[in-house]
Amino acid sequence: MRINGFSGMDIDSMIANLMKAHRQPINRMNQKKTLYEWQQNSYREVNSKLVDFRNNKLLSKYTSSSFNTLKAAVSGNASAITAKATSKAATGTITIDVESLASSSRVKGKNSQLAGRGDEKLADLEAAGVLKLDGETSIKINGVSIDFDPNTDTLNTIVQKINGNKEAGVTAFYNPDNGQISLTSKTTGTKEISLGGSLLTGTDNLNLNEKIQGTDAKVVINGVEATYSSNQFSVNGIEVTLHAATGNQPSIVSTSLDADQIVETIKSFINDYNEVLKLLNDKVIEERYRKFPPLTDEQKKDMKEADIKLWEEKAKSGMLKGDPILRKAISELRSAMTTPIYLGPADATSEEKAKNSITLADIGIETGKWFEGGKLTLKNEAKLRETLEKNPEKLMAFFTNRPSGDNPPQEQVGVFNKMVDSLKGTLKDISDKAGTSRYSTDKGSTLKDQSILGKQIAELNKKIDQTNAKLKSIEDRYYRQFTAMEVALNKLNSQSGSLMSFMSK
């Protein structure tokens, strides 16, 4: 039980001041814990960037297929067809003669009494003797049923229902000038449109009985006749679209490496690599301001928000300054880029290896000045394009080569695969240290408790809880002592008052 106020002293403030000294160890532990948490967050930022670079760029975007991009060009009758090379295409030439295009099947009918009556209800048209429904409430097109209500539906709404049904696979049209209805297949080829229901086929109704069968496209490819149900088809990995008959001038499709696209891929990689390297370099050289420790809650109470923000910007700086994990990652990434890639037999002499190796300089790429931290620059694009034209396999191998076997010679492993392997180790090291995920770029993901920093934080939390319990005991003891003093003073005041009262008689 706490009793305050008899002495006139502010007991709570006095005890709070006495406890300040006792709380210093807690403050230091909380500051240390905050530093560990900030360090985890810095690792998480780096980890997110490295996971993205390794998994989304090196393993997905920058693969061997990205260096085997082909383009298709049409010459001869260039307006008759268009062509697009896919990943399955090969370099070469094909000649295409287009004899005729594929067309769609159609059905049409005519009931002159339906002219200008598209908005009248079907029941009213039946009452007027224009239609003869006999209780029918559905039609079938290509096996797909479409329901209608004669009391609410009109010719125009029937057309809308047909056009709105993707499974029916046709486009309907009503001509109000002559009452004609037509259905056109959405696909080309010889397959006919099947109909069901007297509304569509009855001679007293829409009378859709005039059938025009579609046709297949007829072409001659490299002298071989072929037919296709569509004007779009694939041949030798090339997507071809027919637009017109070629007549006496065939279309010639030539496929070749898309140099522009491959150069853009390399430029994109250089940018991604430089971003990663810059982040790592910035982290390991970022200034650490040791005179700006994390603020305690008491310190924040006496500061403005703007001042707190400025202080913490300094306090959070340099969390990974000189970090050995990041320094190792920088070294391995730069080594992967600058080490020559050898493309010959393993038992070759040093001279033969040098002769059959390819370096950054060979493809016009240079590393920056020492103060740029290994930044890459495409200094000579013409040299890159020359290598791509004369020896594309060598260029591809420099970036993407992966010899078979469990432990291939590192001198034969391409740049991308070297980075994939080294970053796998880096991400494991960061995960072991900070508890980050080796597979997720989510900066808000939960950190694993069993990491080095996670265990250190858990140990600090345990010590903080133990120290808080001790401080509670000390604070309670102070309150008991002051309460006893208050009771004693109250008793003394009471006795003094009685004595004065006795003496005044």
Spatial separation of the C-alpha atoms in residues 57 and 187, rounded to whole Å: 39
Q: Where in the sequence is the domain holding 83, given as residue range(s)?
A: 70-101+217-257
Q: CB-side exposure of 376: number of CA atoms within 13 Å?
A: 24
Q: Which residues of 66-85 are buried (b: 16+ CB within 10 A; e: fewer)?
A: bbbbbbbebeebeebbbbbb
Average pLDDT, whole number, for the chain? 90
Residue 11 tokens read as 């007991």
Q: What is the pTM of this model?
A: 0.75
Say whether 36 sits in a helix, a strand or coil.
Answer: helix
Q: Are residues 138 and 200 in the same domain?
A: yes
**Residue 482 — very low, low, confident or very high, per pLDDT cuts 50/70/90?**
confident
Tens-place pLDDT, residues 111-164: 889 999 999 999 999 999 999 998 999 999 999 999 999 999 999 999 999 999
Residue 318 lies in a domain: yes
Statement: residue 1 has pLDDT above 50: no
Q: List the structure tokens of 67.
A: 């260096």
Q: Domain tally for the chain? A: 3
Does 29 map to a domain? Answer: yes
pLDDT of the residue at 10: 73
Residue 317, pLDDT above cutoff 80: yes
Tell me how far apart the alpha carbons of residues 426 and 333 are, in angstroms, rounded to a whole number.
Answer: 11
State CA 467 to chain mean position distance. Answer: 46
Are 434 and 334 in the same domain?
Answer: yes
Stronger pLDDT, 218 or 481, i.e. the higher one = 218
pLDDT at 499: 58
Cβ count near 18 (within 10 Å): 13
The reply to whether 27 falls in a domain is yes
CATH number for position 194: 3.30.70
Q: Do 58 and 74 belong to one domain?
A: no
Summarised one tens digit per residue, pLDDT across range 416-466 is: 999 999 999 999 999 999 999 998 888 888 888 899 999 999 999 999 888
Q: Is residue 192 part of a domain?
A: yes
Question: In the numeric block, which tokens belong to residue 283?
Answer: 């982290």
